[in-house]
Amino acid sequence: MKLKEYIENLQAIYDISGNLEVIYATDDEGNDFNNVSHKPSVVYFDKKHKDIVHPHDLEDALADGVKVKQVVCIN
C-alpha cells in the first residue's frame, strides 16, 4: 500500500469517527517489523487485556463489564 492510499483511508475514518486513538499490532516480543499491508480500520479495544473485541462479541463483553473503546488499528 502506498502512502497516498493509506492517508485517504485514514481521512475517511476521521471524517466518520473523529479523532480516535491509533494502535498497532506487533509480535509478543515487540521486535517484528513488516510493511503495512492492511487498510486502517476502526475496532473495539480492551485496553486492560490489550486485545481486540470483535463486533460479534461486543454485546457479551460489555455485559461482562469489559471496558472497550473505539480505536484505529493500522495493521
pLDDT at position 30 is 66
Lowest mean pLDDT of 4-8, 22-26, 32-36, name the range.
32-36
- 3-state DSSP assignment of residue 51: strand
pLDDT at 25 over 90: no
Angle, vertex CA 58, rays to CA 15 and CA 62, nearest 5: 110
Residue 4: other Cβ atoms inside 10 A = 8
Which is it for strands 22-23 and 41-46: parallel, antiparallel or unpaired? unpaired
- Give me 11's grid cell: 481521512
Q: Which residue has the cell 462479541?
A: 57
pLDDT at position 13 is 94
pLDDT at position 74 is 82
* Mean pLDDT on 57-64: 94
CA 8 to chain CA mean position, Å? 16
